[in-house]
Structure 1
Amino acid sequence: MKRGRIEEFNDFLARLYPECAKKGTPGQGGGTAKTVTFVVTNRCSLACTYCYQQHKNNAVMSFDTAKAFIDMLLTGNKGMDGYIDKEESPGIILEFIGGEPLLEIELIDKIVDYFREQALLMGHTWANHFMISICSNGVAYKEPKVQEFLQKNAGRLSFSVTLDGNKELHDSCRVFPDGSPSYDIAYAACKDWMDRGNYMGSKITLCPENVMHTFTASKHMMDMGYQDININCVYEEGWNIEHAKILYKELKRVADYLLSDDNDVDPDDIYFALLNGDNYGPMEENDIQNYCGGNGMMLACGTDGRLYPCLRYLETSVGDDVEPMVIGTVEEGIGIDRKHKSCIDCLQCVDRKTQSTDECFYCPIAKGCGWCTALNYQETGTPNKRLTHICVTHKAASLANVYFWNKYYQKQGEDKRFQMHCPKEWALPIIGEDEYAMLEQLSRA
């Protein structure tokens, strides 16, 4: 299965600046393009049950706050040049998020215009190498101001509407505050955007309450024409062995669908994240990069001008009982205050080795197993202690990959095998003796 046909912004920059793609220190902006997040509002039109922002309020970012943040980024003043190096990061991604970002589309429009104008006046490299990223729930998609913005910035815009697969999965979690469903609205927005010839990314979020819809949701996305099916399990607690059993069976159904001759889907044209053949094996001991950007690589500016290493460190995510992790403000600068500098230093020390137990670090199926560094902080008080709530789902997915890839190789007539790295004692509680024997035979046949 191939990974998307659309060249991503980072890949584009890597071709132009190959020397930059190899540089950079996590948390200091290396690797061609730096993502910076503007939290333009904490308001949202939906009340999704699995949302990590369970402490929203009505705050809205002022334009002056946004301008101050942009000035820091472009000039490198107030300590920003020590955090983001434009020489190592010749591109920038301006991400707008909420709450629901389209509720403040006029503010976003003003922010983008100001960034573009200032970057051009300065002759900054980012004037030609910037992208806008917006992920929306779709409720405000048809508003005239939203449509004007989308058309105005079409050439520099990565835009997506969250559609959680089919109606059953989507409406089990993505609801309005009164509990009414939102699927029809999101579907209409996705279809309209795609019918106009635009690319629409996907994001199916699985949680214990909706995992039983994995196959029907995935099939629906493929039937709609999506080729990149980005699907993942939430990192929060709640998963157990029964959910793992369900996930394995659902992924087998996805595999059978992809391999069937009775549909128009070509598995070579589909990227399905949970059937990724590059994952589910051991990792090299020297591969210690942190899984996510929560160790400082996704700088976020909150509505009040406080700066965070990632948006998930905001109070809207961590709640009232955990202190938000702040690393600066647009007024005072970044990493200037001793406490803020200490947070940055702490985050720069976080890697796969420091936060993992030996069981995790030397896990035989460690590849592709993810975590959220900010959630680590929220639940344990430190970003340097890895949570393992999704461990059982990763085991289930690893077993489903043994099934899919070996069936795929057989169908293609390829003399290849997908190894079963998941230990038998981990597999049996999920799939049982007979299924394990079948997978073992497939991986050796």
Structure 2
Amino acid sequence: MEQIIYRCFKTLKNHYIFDRHTNTIFPVTESEYKVFEDYLHGKNSDKTQEVLKKYQQFGLLRENQVTKIEHPSYKWIGHYAEHRLEGLTLQVTQQCNLRCSYCAYSGLYYNREHSSERMSVETAMSAIDFLLEHSDEMKELHISFYGGEPLLEFDLIKKCVSYVKEKVEGKRVTFGMTTNGTLLTEEVVSYLVAHDFSLAVSLDGSKKEHDSNRKFRSGKGSFDLIMKNLQYMKEHYPDFMARTSIMTVVSPNGNIADNLQFFHTDQVLADSNIMMNPLEETGLKEEVQYKDSFNLIRRYEYLKYLLFATSKLDKEYVSALVISSHSKMQQFYQTLHRQEIYSGTTHHGGPCIPGMKRLFVTVTGELFPCEKVSETAPCNCIGSLEKGLDIKKMKAMLNLGKLTEAECMTCWNLPNCKICVAQLDVSDGCESLCKEDKLKVCQEEKMRVMAGIYEMAVLREFNFHVEEREAGI
């Protein structure tokens, strides 16, 4: 008999099987669970065949039918690169007026550090031309400005917007920016509102917590100035403020209780979209250790969210830092209920078509799939404005599963794996993607998905239905 790929797990109330073939969770009896466990360990009996046939009549637990690991867009990537570029992220400067302790460019990571490099007008216009030349099949485009601190190059940003409006016909172009918030002057805010920018502002919480990490070069904290700017936005452009995202990094040495209280009570940020991001650990030169108290409080706050999700607690008691978990849970819930069949040629999720969503253009015109990958690893570079896109390297990134094809073909986590090149801990100067780097993150990814599967089963035991909670979120 060919291999049947599944996982056994149990909660306090029930026994379950996760079936890879259909990406589905279903309950079984305790005696059946024992049969499934034995079968995983090579024990086959008449009882095994009886139990398997019982569920196979419903289309579950079919023999492994995956024969090849290949991304469904692999054959079309050349066409996408030529005609379907959707957006740019322009690194208008590598300078920053802050020196945040955990910045990707602070020296803590295997990546470049802050420098005085800035994008020339010629490079910026060339990047915009590149976007327009490779997006004839797209009706909507997006251009985002990135740094360093992008508002240090506000004049360049304005020139880019004007250039786009002069050049583009028949397409809708939107603009966005990620900023530390210190340079959001009245002039800047007025301009961003007038040109319908989407905005993400970095703010880590209370004054004490924020200023401990996000300082000016002088060592002075940036909290007071940022809050002053956000207050101005709220008073004069409330709609714009309401759709501005607040990006908060949770520091391992921080006081998460203070931050939870701050975001729950601060009136300037009331109704804002708060996005909590843990400290990025990929590429860190040294391992970070979170305090026991930090993990305890974080778990407690997430527990409150779960009580909300199962209608046991009102939303007002749930921290804004964890409420964003709902959208992730919705997506996972829906994925596990599509009963999508995994057979033939397939690939794990995670890799997007490199560069198509937000092609990252450095100050010097090098091209990367997005801003999340290290700029000091040549294996992440997919071309330049001068030479164009490197289709061969794009294919390697997109078809990342090929590095571990044998392992992926029989992996229970194939349907829900989200590994992409940004997660690979590649070193400075790395010339090519390799199997070893990918396998390093596989176990962590399996643990993440299994935790989600277990959680979803428990929530269903408490009558959780995503559709019923959507209106209340």
TM-score normalised to structure 1 length:
0.65
Tell me, yes or no, if the aligned pair for 1:259 and 1:267 is still in contact at 8 Å.
no
Measure the CA separation in 1 of the matches of 2:270 and 2:159.
Answer: 34
1:260-409 matches, within 5 Å, as 265=316, 272-274=323-325, 276-278=328-330, 288-290=348-350, 297-313=357-373, 317-319=374-376, 322-323=377-378, 325-330=380-385, 332-335=386-389, 340-351=390-401, 354=404, 362-363=412-413, 373=422, 375-378=424-427, 382-383=432-433, 385-386=437-438, 388=441, 391=444, 398=451, 402=455, 406=459
Measure the CA separation in 1 of the matches of 2:220 and 2:190.
Answer: 28
Measure the CA separation in 2 of the matches of 1:183 and 1:29.
Answer: 42
Go from structure 1 to structure 2 and tell me whether the alpha carbon gap of 1:132 and 1:188 turns closer, same or farther (over 3 Å shift). Answer: same
Go from structure 1 to structure 2 and tell me whether the alpha carbon gap of 1:258 and 1:402 turns closer, same or farther (over 3 Å shift). Answer: closer
Q: Secondary structure at the match of 1:161?
A: strand
Match of 1:40 in 2: 92
Greater CA drift, 35-44 or 181-190: 181-190
1:33-432 matches, within 5 Å, as 34-54=86-106, 55-74=113-132, 76=133, 81=134, 85-87=135-137, 89-120=138-169, 125-126=170-171, 129-142=172-185, 144=187, 146-154=188-196, 157-195=197-235, 196-197=237-238, 198=240, 199-210=243-254, 212-213=255-256, 215-223=257-265, 224-226=269-271, 228-233=273-278, 234-236=280-282, 237=284, 246-253=294-301, 255-256=303-304, 265=316, 272-274=323-325, 276-278=328-330, 288-290=348-350, 297-313=357-373, 317-319=374-376, 322-323=377-378, 325-330=380-385, 332-335=386-389, 340-351=390-401, 354=404, 362-363=412-413, 373=422, 375-378=424-427, 382-383=432-433, 385-386=437-438, 388=441, 391=444, 398=451, 402=455, 406=459, 415-416=463-464
Higher relative contact order (CA 8 A, sep 6+): 2
**Structure 1: gaps (5+ residues):** 1-21, 419-445
Greater CA drift, 267-276 or 93-102: 267-276
Q: Secondary structure at the match of 2:161?
A: helix
Q: Secondary structure at the match of 2:245?
A: coil
Measure the CA separation in 1 of the matches of 2:273 and 2:417.
Answer: 17
Larger Rg: 2
Tell me, yes or no, if the aligned pair for 1:294 and 1:373 is still in contact at 8 Å.
no
Q: Secondary structure at the match of 1:56?
A: coil
Deviations 1:76-97 (A, max 9, x none): 2xxxx3xxx432x321110101
Greater CA drift, 103-112 or 293-302: 293-302
Q: Once the two structures are aligned, what percentage of the paired residues are identical?
A: 19
Measure the CA separation in 1 of the matches of 2:332 and 2:410.
Answer: 13
Greater CA drift, 259-268 or 347-356: 259-268
Deviation at 1:392, TM superposition (A): 9.7
Measure the CA separation in 1 of the matches of 2:164 and 2:230.
Answer: 28
Greater CA drift, 199-208 or 95-104: 199-208
Deviations 1:254-291 (A, max 9, x none): 54389699998276999723464347789775562225
Deviation at 1:341, TM superposition (A): 3.9
Measure the CA separation in 2 of the matches of 1:265 and 1:356.
Answer: 48
Measure the CA separation in 2 of the matches of 1:103 and 1:200.
Answer: 20
Go from structure 1 to structure 2 and tell me whether the alpha carbon gap of 1:328 and 1:175 turns closer, same or farther (over 3 Å shift). Answer: same
Q: Secondary structure at the match of 2:200?
A: strand
Measure the CA separation in 2 of the matches of 1:185 and 1:175.
Answer: 11
Tell me, yes or no, if the aligned pair for 2:98 and 2:214 is still in contact at 8 Å.
yes
Deviation at 1:130, TM superposition (A): 1.2
Deviation at 1:133, TM superposition (A): 0.5
Tell me, yes or no, if the aligned pair for 2:253 and 2:291 is still in contact at 8 Å.
no
Tell me, yes or no, if the aligned pair for 1:161 and 1:200 is still in contact at 8 Å.
yes
Measure the CA separation in 1 of the matches of 2:355 and 2:195.
Answer: 30
Q: Secondary structure at the match of 1:42?
A: coil
Q: Secondary structure at the match of 1:230?
A: strand
| Aligned CA-pair RMSD | 4.6
Tell me, yes or no, if the aligned pair for 2:92 and 2:119 is still in contact at 8 Å.
yes
Deviation at 1:187, TM superposition (A): 2.2
Q: Secondary structure at the match of 1:60?
A: coil
The structure where strand makes up a greater share of residues is: 2
Q: Secondary structure at the match of 1:304?
A: coil
Measure the CA separation in 2 of the matches of 1:373 and 1:326.
Answer: 12
Deviation at 1:64, TM superposition (A): 1.4
Deviations 1:17-47 (A, max 9, x none): xxxxx99967937999823111111100111
Measure the CA separation in 2 of the matches of 1:110 and 1:302.
Answer: 17
Go from structure 1 to structure 2 and tell me whether the alpha carbon gap of 1:34 and 1:209 turns closer, same or farther (over 3 Å shift). Answer: farther
**Structure 2: gaps (5+ residues):** 1-71, 107-112, 467-473
Measure the CA separation in 1 of the matches of 2:410 and 2:105.
Answer: 27
Measure the CA separation in 1 of the matches of 2:152 and 2:201.
Answer: 14
Q: Secondary structure at the match of 1:138?
A: coil
Measure the CA separation in 2 of the matches of 1:235 and 1:26.
Answer: 30
Measure the CA separation in 1 of the matches of 2:446 and 2:209.
Answer: 18
Measure the CA separation in 1 of the matches of 2:418 and 2:250.
Answer: 15
Tell me, yes or no, if the aligned pair for 1:33 and 1:91 is still in contact at 8 Å.
no
